[in-house]
Amino acid sequence: MDWISHFLFVWICCSLLKVDKKILTVALMGSIFPDVDIPLSLVFGRGFHRGPTHSIVGILILAVVLGLIFYKKSFKSSFNIGLLALSTHPLLDSILPWPIEWFWPFSNEKIVILTMFSSKHYFFFYIYLIAVGIILALTYLLWKKKKLIPIEPWFVYKI
Ligand SMILES: [Zn+2]
């Protein structure tokens, strides 16, 4: 899944859950944080992407990291909302046909969940288009009804 869709999906979820806007930054960072493995792939090799940082254990570790980064706001809130946002990442990534190492470090097997329905690439393409369409439509509806929590840049700088 692309970063914009990850970002918008978590923004929609936070807005619907009426998350405190001071904690929104944590969630938005969490939405794309697992893809920190893309630059790390330059060090560890191409197979590293969609590996440990997209696994269940990796998501828990990244949630602790987010909690520590934003501990001044509240470790517990940052951890909880970070965990929620981080969890959406591999689930949305599952829409695409590239496998995820869900059970690292217990297993290095990479799994594509949707192949249980079809392994045809056009199937993933249609599911992706539908998901992006739903995300964009919901973003537009919430924006039009002024229900999206405003993103205020100073949250990023006043950690
Ligand atoms: Zn990803």
What residues have their beta carbon closer than 5 A to ion ligand 1? 35, 93
Distance 147 CA to ligand 1 centre (A): 27
Residue 137 has pLDDT above 90, yes or no: yes
* Residue 157 structure tokens: 């700088």
How far is Cα 139 from Cα 95, in angstroms, rounded to an integer?
19
Residue 155: per-residue pLDDT: 53
| 102 CB-contact burial (10 Å; exposed 0-12 / middle 13-18 / buried 19+) | buried
User: What pLDDT is stored for residue 156 in this prediction?
Assistant: 56
Average pLDDT (70-92) is 89
Look up residue 110 and give its DSSP letter: -
Rounded distance from Cα 22 to ligand 1 centre (Å): 25
Q: Please check whether residue 7 is in contact with residue 32, taking contact to mean a CB–CB distance below 8 angstroms.
A: yes
Q: Where are the domains of the chain?
A: 3-157
Least confidently predicted of 40-44, 66-70, 93-97: 40-44
- pLDDT at res. 154: 53
Residue 18 CB-density burial (10 A; 0-12 exposed, 13-18 middle, 19+ buried): exposed
Cα of 155 vs centre of ligand 1, distance in Å, is 24
CA-to-CA dists, residue 72 to 86, 142, 155, angstroms:
20, 30, 12
Average pLDDT over residues 2-21: 93
Confidence check: pLDDT of 74 > 60: yes
Residue 64 alpha carbon to ligand 1 centre in Å = 18
